[in-house]
Amino acid sequence: MSYTGPDSAPPRPRRPRRGLLIAALAALAPGALLGWLVHETAGGSGDPGGAVSAGGPASSGAAGPSRAPSRAGGAEDPGAAGTPAPPRASAASGPLEGKVVVVDPGHNPGNFQHTAEINRTVDIGTNRKECDTTGTATDAGYPEAEFTLDVARRLRTLLQRQGATVRLTQDGDRPYGPCVDERARIGNEARADAVVSIHADGSAAGNRGFHVILPGAVHAGAADTRPIVAPSRDLGERIAGRFLRATGSAPAAYAGDGSGLVTRKDLGGLNLSTVPKVFIECGNMRDGADAALLTSGAWRQKAAQGISEGIVSFLRG
C-alpha cells in the first residue's frame, strides 16, 4: 500500500504492456487457483443468479493528463478518472431491486493537488489517521485513483442492471477526498446492504495478485465493528471467489496467508462502518505483470464483473 507525496514528478508516458498480459496469466500458480476455488466452493458462496455478462466498455479509462502518485508509506490505503461519468439513471428492475450498494473508489485523482487537506488527521475510532492519501501508480505513471474510479463506474453499471441502487462515494466530482471517516459515513447514512472499497496495491515488484481486506473486531471510541464482522467476511469471501474466476488472477501470496483474505483493524473506512464492508486490492501496480492487467480496459471490465458477481451472490444469500 503506497502513496504519493506533494513533490512527485509528473508521470512518465504510459507504455503498452499487452505482451505481459499473456505471460501474467500463464504464470498463475495452478495450485493456488485450485486451492482457492475449493475454498470458495466450501465457503458457501451461492449462485450469483442473474449475473450479467462480462461484456461492457473496454476503454482505457484515462481521461485528461495523468497524475503522478509515487510511493510514500505510512498512510491509509486499505486509488481512474476514467471515461466521463454516464448520466445518472434509476435502477432497473431486477433481482437486486430494493438493495442499496455503495461503491467507494479509493483516493481521488485530485488529491495530489490538495496535500494540506488530505494530510489533516481524522478520528478512526482506534486512533487518528490522515484524511486520505494520493494512492500509488504504475511505473509508467497510471494512477491508482484513475484505476479505482474506472472500475467503480463499470461496477455501478453492472449492479444497476441487476436492479440495485448504487451510490459512489466520489465520482470525479470533488477536488479531493472524501476523508476516510466520510467514506464510511456515506455507506452508513445510505443504510447500504453492502459497501466495497476499490483499490490497487503498491507493494514491491514481484508481489502479484489480489486480496480482500475484512474488518477485524474493533470496539474503541467511535468504532464498533462487532456487528458487521461476520457479514463482511461473507461478502469478502464471495467477492474473492468470483474475482478469481472472472479475472484469472490468483490470491496474493505476499498478503495474509495466501487465501486472498486479510483482516485488519487499522483502516478508518472499515472501523467506522456500521454496514457490511470490505476493501479489495485488485493487484499490485508496482509489479510489471500486474500493471499490464490493471492498465487494460478489458481486464478492468473483468474485475468489475467479478466484484459484481460477488456482491450479487451476497445480497441474494
Residues with catalytic function: 281
Shortest CA distance to 110 belongs to which of 76, 79, 156, 83? Answer: 79
Q: Quick one: residue 283, left, alpha or beta (phi over 0 = left, psi -120 to 50 = alpha)?
A: left
- DSSP class of residue 91 equals P
Q: Which three cell numbers stand for residue 249?
A: 488472477
* Beta-ladder partners of 281: 199, 211
Cell of 53: 455478462
Q: At residue 229, what are phi and psi to the nearest 5 degrees?
A: -60, -50
Cell numbers linked to 162: 441487476
What secondary structure letter does DSSP report for 217? -
Phi/psi for 223 (5° steps) reads -105, 135
281 and 234 in contact (C-beta within 8 Å)? no
CB atoms within 10 A of CB 264: 15
Give 5's DSSP letter. -
Structural contact between residues 267 and 203, judged by C-beta atoms closer than 8 angstroms: no
Q: Distance between CA 284 and CA 263 in Å, rounded?
A: 18
Cis upstream peptide for 6 (omega within 30°): no
